[in-house]
């Protein structure tokens, strides 16, 4: 498979290595010094996009307009998701988006929703989400943190929204806390905490490196090739 990388920072280089180890060819490495317009993408099978939030919408529309299936790992653009979903479907494009491509995190998402449904019956437990990332991460809360919170809200009758603050700063019991921490050299840690006066239940996913995100994005690209429509990792993993 021939893959173009839109975004060639640390994540792009990890994806490149994994792709080549799986026998794929890299047709373009797009960054600020090498814009996508410089490349001949006519024989590219799929684009993997890990750039910056402010470039995501333009990159997605470019790929749809040029009949390039796109796998989007960038977060921070989801306010445009509804419009881009409609644009993709109207123009017979193919896009696959995920707030996190790690296989472990996507398993975590499913466990999180099941645990939230159980804990909805135990109102004595206070609920909160904590997400920890490296200091270079531009958006807060993380897209993964938002997905976790939305999974809890979907299943837990107490909550109808979330706020990006510490649990101690929440004044409305119907609002779920997402606390964001930025520390050096942290690929990503996500915690869901249920705490009462007598005990605490914690669900934690800790990424040891970026390789899990890279592998997941390659698996998504392999799955998306030849398809039309809008998909997520739930489709890839058949959840």
User: What pLDDT is recorded for position 155?
Assistant: 98
pLDDT, averaged across the chain: 95
Cα–Cα distance measured from residue 142 to residue 1, given in angstroms and rounded to the nearest whole number = 30
| Number of CB atoms found within 10 A of residue 2's CB | 15
User: What pLDDT is recorded for position 222?
Assistant: 97
DSSP 211-229: HHHHHHHHHHHHHHTT--E
User: What pLDDT is recorded for position 69?
Assistant: 98
Q: At what angle do helices 211-224 and 10-21 cross, to 10 degrees?
A: 60
**Partner residues linked to 132 by β-bridges:** 181, 189
User: What pLDDT is recorded for position 36?
Assistant: 95
Domains of the chain, residue spans: 2-101+211-237, 103-206
Task: Tell me the per-residue pLDDT of 67-111, one tens digit each, with 9 for 90 and over.
Answer: 999 999 998 899 999 999 999 999 999 999 998 999 999 999 999
Share of the chain above pLDDT 90, in %: 90
Q: How confident is the model at residue 55 (pLDDT cuts 50, 70, 90)?
A: very high
User: What pLDDT is recorded for position 75?
Assistant: 87
Give the CA angle between residues 200, 104, 162 to the nearest 5°: 55
Across the range 150-172, mean pLDDT stands at 96
Q: Is residue 152 a contact partner of residue 112, using CB atoms and an 8 Å limit?
A: yes
User: What pLDDT is recorded for position 187?
Assistant: 87
What torsion do the CA atoms of 94, 52, 170, 168 make, to the nearest 10 degrees?
Answer: 130
Cβ-based neighbours of 19, under 8 Å, separated by 6 or more: 3, 26, 218
Q: Which two tokens stand for residue 37?
A: 């317009």
Cα–Cα distance measured from residue 88 to residue 82, given in angstroms and rounded to the nearest whole number = 10
User: What pLDDT is recorded for position 226?
Assistant: 92
103-206, CATH topology level: Dihydrodipicolinate Reductase; domain 2 (3.30.360)
| Block residue for tokens 């993380």 | 142
Nearest CA to 97 out of 112, 113, 82, 116 is that of 82
Top-confidence residue, 26 or 140: 26
Nearest CA to 72 out of 49, 47, 56 is that of 49
Task: Tell me the per-residue pLDDT of 209-220, one tens digit each, with 9 for 90 and over.
Answer: 889 999 999 999
Task: Name the pTM for this structure.
Answer: 0.83
User: What pLDDT is recorded for position 20?
Assistant: 97
Q: Which two tokens stand for residue 200?
A: 């605490």
| Block residue for tokens 């914690």 | 202
Cβ-based neighbours of 79, under 8 Å, separated by 6 or more: none
The residues assigned a catalytic role are 133, 137
CATH architecture for segment(s) 2-101+211-237: 3-Layer(aba) Sandwich (3.40)
Cα–Cα distance measured from residue 238 to residue 233, given in angstroms and rounded to the nearest whole number = 8
User: What pLDDT is recorded for position 223?
Assistant: 97
Cβ-based neighbours of 187, under 8 Å, separated by 6 or more: 133, 134, 207, 208, 209, 210, 213
User: What pLDDT is recorded for position 229?
Assistant: 98
Residue 137 has pLDDT above 90, yes or no: no
Cα–Cα distance measured from residue 6 to residue 29, given in angstroms and rounded to the nearest whole number = 6
């Amino acid at each position: 498979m021939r893959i173009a990388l839109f975004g060639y920072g640390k994540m792009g280089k990890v994806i490149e290595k994994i792709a080549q180890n799986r026998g794929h060819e890299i047709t373009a490495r797009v960054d600020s010094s090498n814009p996508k317009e410089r490349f001949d993408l006519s024989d590219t099978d799929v684009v993997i996009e890990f750039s910056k939030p402010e470039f995501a919408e333009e990159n997605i529309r470019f790929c749809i307009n040029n009949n390039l299936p796109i796998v989007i790992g960038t977060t921070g653009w989801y306010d445009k998701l509804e419009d881009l979903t409609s644009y993709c479907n109207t123009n017979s494009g193919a896009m696959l988006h995920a707030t996190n491509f790690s296989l472990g995190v996507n398993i975590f998402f499913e466990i999180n929703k099941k645990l939230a449904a159980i804990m909805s019956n135990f109102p004595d437990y206070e609920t909160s989400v904590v997400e920890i990332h490296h200091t270079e991460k531009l958006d807060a809360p993380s897209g993964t943190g938002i997905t976790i919170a939305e999974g809890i809200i979907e299943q837990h009758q107490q909550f109808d929204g979330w706020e990006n603050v510490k649990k101690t700063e929440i004044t409305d019991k119907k609002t779920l806390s997402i606390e964001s921490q930025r520390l050096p050299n942290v690929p990503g840690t996500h915690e869901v905490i249920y705490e009462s006066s007598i005990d605490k239940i914690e669900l934690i996913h800790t990424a040891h490196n970026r390789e899990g995100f890279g592998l997941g994005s390659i698996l998504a690209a392999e799955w998306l090739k030849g398809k039309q429509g809008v998909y997520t990792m739930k489709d890839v993993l058949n959840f």
